[in-house]
Amino acid sequence: MSTTRTILICSGKGGVGKTTSTANLGIALAKQGKTTVVLDADFGLRNLDLLLGLENRIVYTAQEVLAESCRLEQALVKHKQEPNLCLLPAGNPRMLEWLTPKDMQSIVSLLEKRFDYVLIDCPAGIEDGFKNAVSATREALVITTPEVAAVRDADRVIGLLNIQGVAPVQLVLNRVRPRMMTNQEMLSVDDITDILALPLLGLVFEDEQVIVSTNRGEPLTLGDSSAPAAQAYHNIARRLQGEEIPLMDPSQARRGLRARMRKLMQTKIF
């Protein structure tokens, strides 16, 4: 039996950081010595290539591999600086009617023969693209942000993953603003894990450096960035491999008497 971990990265709502998380976790796992492939299952609106800086190097997609018009090796795009990481786009944006759950399963099982980690970047929504991607995965990471719409959509997705028997399903809380959270102007980490009832694999603070890194097509985890978000993604990658690393505490991000007062005000009394 293959020991490959196949992990779907999904969220329901768009724009919460699925693709950014896939790119950063892919690089982080590769740097930790794991051969990793990131599969862009969102072939209608694919962007993983752009975030990884590989947009000019795509020749073939999974589609040509399945049609046997090229070999898997030809379709895999190897990352320039991080040779442990490959990208495979599921399909071509012009061809919208190709993917079926069976296609997705065939391509993922090909990838599972060659890689330690298969990360599937899921399309937003809960329609066909999502269903195809779910059918091919074993585990899932649900990405959400501390906003009501994102949490509600995450809940729908978790319900569907449970029905499909995907396990384990873990949570990544993205775009946390420590100051707003300590002021109770944003749903707290506990609020969200209470509501969604999922184990929290990591939290990523809102970080302007994420935008800077996407501008360049170099995920934050690629360099030696000391940005909090880079650290968060490295930690998530290590926790995926079973290492125990304490979660960041939003109330500790700010120190001093006022921060301590705010933390006191957050204490649950009943």
The binding site for other proteins (CB under 8 A) comprises 148, 151-152, 155-156, 158-159, 162, 181, 183-188, 191, 195-197, 264-270
- Output the smallest distance, CB 10 to other proteins, in A: 17
- Output the smallest distance, CB 258 to other proteins, in A: 14
Residues contacting 34, CB < 8 A, separation 6+: 84, 116, 117, 241
Q: Which is nearer to other proteins, 69 or 184 (CB)?
A: 184
Residues counted in the chain: 270
- Output the smallest distance, CB 13 to other proteins, in A: 13
Q: d(Cα 5, Cα 112) in Å, to the nearest integer?
A: 8
Q: Which is nearer to other proteins, 151 or 237 (CB)?
A: 151
Q: d(Cα 151, Cα 57) in Å, to the nearest integer?
A: 36
| Closest by CA position to 16, among listed 167, 242, 192, 222 | 192
Pairing verdict, β 36-40 and 85-89: parallel
Provide the 8-state DSSP code for 242. Answer: T
- Output the smallest distance, CB 186 to other proteins, in A: 6
Q: Which is nearer to other proteins, 7 or 181 (CB)?
A: 181
Cα maximum dimension of the chain = 65
Q: Which is nearer to other proteins, 65 or 158 (CB)?
A: 158
Q: Which is nearer to other proteins, 139 or 191 (CB)?
A: 191
- Output the smallest distance, CB 80 to other proteins, in A: 43
Q: d(Cα 198, Cα 147) in Å, to the nearest integer?
A: 17
